[in-house]
Amino acid sequence: MNAAPELLLIGAAILVGLVQLLWAAAAARGQQDLKWAAGPRDEDMPLSGVAARLDRAFKNFMETFPFFVAAVFAAYLVAKTGPLTLWGAVLYVAARALYVPLYAAGVSGVRSLVWLVSLVGIGMIVAAIFLA
């Protein structure tokens, strides 16, 4: 049985998220030592610069990823997958992969457009669910 490409793209999005998580954690360890990280973290140790941007980018991913997964599963379950859902999923994954290095580099205008493209991708998947 072959999986729908949209379901495979959920797997790709998971990989994007894991890379983000590891990149953000590695950058944070440069500012927050291992003793603090392994401890109870009772006191905040704020991040700055690239580490802070990577942390915010990961949090942003975590805000949109559940919507992406829900949209793909809903489209799959109601048998509404097709070109619109496939291209929507591709847009989401590609935009999320591009978003992180743009955010890390401090590129603001283009980064916001790339974020919007990821939301358009989710919107395309949702639109397919309601199309006849």
Cα–Cα distance measured from residue 74 to residue 98, given in angstroms and rounded to the nearest whole number: 26
Domains of the chain: 5-39+48-130 (1.20.120.550)
Tokens encoding 23: 């990149």
In this predicted structure, the answer to whether residue 132 has a pLDDT above a threshold of 70 is no
Percent over 70 (pLDDT), the chain: 98
What is the pLDDT, as a whole number, of residue 34?
A: 74
What is the pLDDT, as a whole number, of residue 100?
A: 96
- In this prediction the pTM is 0.91
Q: Model confidence over 26-65: pLDDT tens digits?
A: 999 888 877 777 777 777 878 899 999 999 999 999 999 9
Answer for the pair 99, 115: CB distance below 8 angstroms, yes or no: yes
94 to each of 5, 25, 29, 129, how far by Cα in Å?
14, 22, 27, 21
